[in-house]
């Protein structure tokens, strides 16, 4: 028989790592909003580390010899359910972050387009991919 305290220890570690991941994702949103590239890079590395730790613990739990028996016990199901809820929160926060990045990119593209329009209204063209560009052909020649 497997010692329940060992299993609870693994599940508690998993919960700690998920809480850290959720905290990192919330910090990431702040970094996205403030366009802090250095903080984003650092947070990305920390997120990868947490994800690797979560994956390792998940692997350890999945290799438990009596996992099928544990799944029938209410305390185990309750603990796994709490972990699933935390994981769902992480996924939701990650989706919020993705949408924030997309919105930031759209704003940057819009400003870029406005700058290009103001810089050369007569020479504004579009690339083959539909991106705005300034046509500077002929501006350097004086007769």
Residue 124 lies in a domain: no
Residue 140 lies in a domain: no
pLDDT score of 123: 61
51 Cβ contact list (under 8 Å, min separation 6): 21
Residue 127 lies in a domain: no
* Positions in the chain short of pLDDT 50: none
pLDDT score of 70: 87
Q: Are residues 15 and 82 in contact, defined by beta-carbon separation less than 8 angstroms?
A: yes
- Owning domain of residue 88: 4-96
Residue 111 lies in a domain: no
Residue 105 lies in a domain: no
Tens digits of residue pLDDT in 63-104 = 988 888 888 889 999 999 999 999 999 999 999 999 999 988
Tell me how long the chain is: 143
Instruction: Kindly list the distances between the CA atom of residue 120 and the CA atoms of 52, 56, 111, in Å, as whole numbers in the listed order.
Output: 50, 56, 14
Residue 40 lies in a domain: yes
Query: Is 38 exposed, middle or buried (CB count within 10 Å of its CB: 0-12, 13-18, 19+)?
Result: exposed
Give the number of domains in the chain. Answer: 1
Q: Hey, what are 40's tokens?
A: 């984003």
Residue 110 lies in a domain: no
pLDDT score of 106: 80
């Amino acid at each position: 028989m497997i010692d329940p305290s060992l299993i609870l220890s693994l599940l508690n570690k998993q919960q700690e790592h998920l809480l850290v991941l959720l905290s990192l994702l919330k910090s990431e949103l702040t970094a996205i909003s403030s366009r802090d590239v250095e903080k984003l890079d650092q947070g990305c590395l920390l997120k990868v580390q947490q994800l690797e730790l979560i994956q390792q613990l998940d692997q350890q739990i999945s290799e438990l010899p009596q996992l099928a028996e544990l799944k029938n016990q209410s305390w185990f199901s309750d603990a796994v359910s709490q972990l699933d809820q935390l994981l769902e929160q992480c996924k939701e926060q990650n989706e919020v972050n993705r949408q924030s990045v997309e919105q930031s990119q759209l704003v940057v593209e819009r400003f870029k387009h406005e700058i290009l329009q103001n810089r050369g209204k007569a020479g504004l063209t579009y690339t083959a991919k539909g991106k705005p560009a300034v046509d500077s052909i002929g501006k350097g020649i004086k007769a």
